[in-house]
Chains A and B, each alone.
Chain A
Amino acid sequence: KNEVEQSPQNLTAQEGEFITINCSYSVGISALHWLQQHPGGGIVSLFMLSSGKKKHGRLIATINIQEKHSSLHITASHPRDSAVYICAVMDRLEYGNKLVFGAGTILRVKS
């Protein structure tokens, strides 16, 4: 079983829809990251969180430490949101900034 599981693997949405991507992990963590990767490879960090909820524009990330679960929400989705969304965790028992990644969720938003 992978340490970090994401669902769904693929997601197609209509423009304007509310989107949720889920991430579950099995280790104790010091922080969780949500990353966005567009075709071409570059990765952008969307959020880093260790508790509660963060919001940036149309993006919201939540984490429940007790349940070892995080969600990424996109409100009023737009075709430019089409990308791969990756959840990554930092194991609190590991020294340094090592990240363990989920397999990613491929999101396609149709206009």
Chain B
Amino acid sequence: KAGVTQTPRYLIKTRGQQVTLSCSPISGHRSVSWYQQTPGQGLQFLFEYFSETQRNKGNFPGRFSGRQFSNSRSEMNVSTLELGDSALYLCASRPGQNTEAFFGQGTRLTVV
């Protein structure tokens, strides 16, 4: 069974640009969560999607958004990039509520 796949693995963007990251969950998993990891703040929850609906959202500005498609694949978008958005972005999929999380390898975003 294939694991959680995140693309791209590495990305360099310029301040002010926007970026879209992709996450393909394990087949059959309906929940996809996104997390940001920085040296200063550690791991922080961005949002969770379940059956194409955003179920929970972390404390991030509106520049961070996401969506989930009918095949459970998810994308997150960051608009008007800032230097502080440089981070490792991780997604995790789960089969359902309160079940084990399976993480992708992450996308390392660098904003210059």
Residue ranges of A at the interface with B (Cβ–Cβ < 8 Å): 30-31, 33, 35, 40-45, 48, 86, 88, 90, 94-104
Q: Is chain B's binding surface mostly helix, strand, loop or mixed?
A: strand
A59 to B31, CA, bound (A): 27
Structural contact, A45 and B55, CB atoms closer than 8 A: no
- In contact, B42 and A103 (Cβ under 8 angstroms): yes
Determine the chain A residues whose CB is within 8 A of the CB of B92 once the complex forms: 43
Q: Name the distance in Å between B101's Cβ and chain A's nearest Cβ.
A: 5
A101/B44 in contact, CB under 8 A: yes
Q: Are A96 and B56 neighbours in the complex by a CB distance under 8 Å? A: yes
Residues 33-73 of B contacting A (Cβ, < 8 Å): 33, 35, 37, 42-45, 48, 50, 55-56, 58
Q: Assess whether A33 is in contact with B101, with CB atoms less than 8 Å apart.
A: yes
Residues of A within 8 A of B31 (CB): 96-97
* Contact residues in A for B106 (Cβ distance below 8 Å): 41-43
- A95: chain B residues at CB < 8 Å are 55-56
The smallest C-beta distance from A25 to any residue of chain B, in angstroms, reads 15
Determine whether the beta carbon of B101 is less than 8 Å from that of A101. Answer: no
The answer to whether B101 and A45 have CB atoms under 8 Å apart is yes
Residues of chain B contacted by A90 (CB below 8 angstroms):
98
Contacts of B58 in A (CB 8 A): 98
- Report whether A97 and B44 are in contact in the complex, using a CB–CB cutoff of 8 Å: no
What's the least CB distance linking A107 to chain B, in Å?
16
**Are A86 and B43 touching (Cβ within 8 A)?**
yes
| CB atoms of B108 and A97 under 8 A apart | no
Q: Within the complex, what minimum Cβ distance (angstroms) separates B24 from chain A?
A: 15
- Enumerate 29 A-B pairs (CB-CB under 8 Å) in ascending A order: A33-B101, A40-B105, A41-B88, A41-B90, A41-B105, A42-B103, A42-B104, A43-B106, A45-B101, A45-B102, A48-B101, A86-B43, A88-B43, A96-B48, A96-B50, A96-B55, A96-B56, A96-B97, A97-B31, A97-B56, A97-B97, A97-B98, A98-B33, A98-B48, A99-B35, A99-B43, A99-B45, A99-B101, A100-B45
8 further A-B contacts with Cβ under 8 Å, apart from A41-B88, A43-B92, A44-B103, are A45-B103, A48-B99, A88-B43, A96-B56, A96-B97, A97-B48, A98-B33, A100-B45
